[in-house]
Amino acid sequence: MRNRSQLIVGLLLILAGAWLITTRQVPDLQNWLDKNFEWPMYMIAGGAALLLIGLFTGNPGTAVPAAVIAGIGGILYYQNQSNDWDSWAYMWALIPGFVGVGTVLASILGDEKSKFMNGVHQVIVSAGLFLVFSSFFGGIKLLGSYGPAAILIVLGIYIIARGSLRKE
């Protein structure tokens, strides 16, 4: 385990040094990043770094917090770019989906394979909740005034069908 930790630290130092050399040799790259790398990107990069650390250390379970951190960074990036801070009234419904994405990634990367479908179901339910709340709070005008009700009915049918078809 110690060798893996040293490997990770060494690789991170090499990447940081290579980045510094590259930005000194190509100053336009740093200028481009200064214009386009907004503060929420640090959260997205933190999530990606956490995922990489989990991969290097043989701990695929870190994909779940990595996906949540990166996902919230993505929400904040959208809000920062669009100045649509009121969208938080329905954007929070995506967070369980980020957990689902992390669960799917973790199962693909070697964690418990049986959790794959649980992650997929979390993503589906989260997307349904997002559509309901964004329709209700005016973020998305889906199916007119009947949108939230129709989505809730479809989501309810999905959950009932999933529960009745599940093997105990």
Given a contact cutoff of 8 angstroms between Cβ atoms, the answer to whether 68 and 52 are in contact is: no
Residue 132 and residue 97 share a domain: yes
Taking the C-alpha atoms of residue 5 and residue 11, their distance in angstroms, rounded to an integer, is 10
Residue 24 and residue 89 share a domain: no
> Which one-letter amino acid corresponds to residue 137?
F
Instruction: Return the SS3 of 57.
Output: coil
Identify the H or E element spanning 61: none
Domain that holds residue 144: 38-165
Given a contact cutoff of 8 angstroms between Cβ atoms, the answer to whether 133 and 90 are in contact is: yes
Instruction: Return the SS3 of 18.
Output: helix
Per-residue pLDDT, 2: 57
- Lookup: tokens for 28: 């336009």
Residue 136 and residue 67 share a domain: yes
Residue 20 and residue 42 share a domain: no
Residue 141 and residue 75 share a domain: yes
Taking the C-alpha atoms of residue 119 and residue 60, their distance in angstroms, rounded to an integer, is 14
Q: What is the pLDDT along the chain (168 residues), one digit of tens a residue?
A: 456 667 667 777 888 888 888 888 888 887 777 776 778 888 998 899 888 888 888 888 899 999 999 999 999 988 988 888 888 888 999 999 999 999 999 998 877 777 888 899 899 889 888 887 887 777 676 666 777 777 778 888 888 887 777 665
Residue 72 and residue 45 share a domain: yes
Residue 49 and residue 20 share a domain: no
Domains of the chain: total: 2
Instruction: Return the SS3 of 109.
Output: coil
Residue 143 and residue 63 share a domain: yes
Residue 137 and residue 56 share a domain: yes
Residue 143 and residue 87 share a domain: yes
Residue 29 and residue 73 share a domain: no
Residue 81 and residue 29 share a domain: no
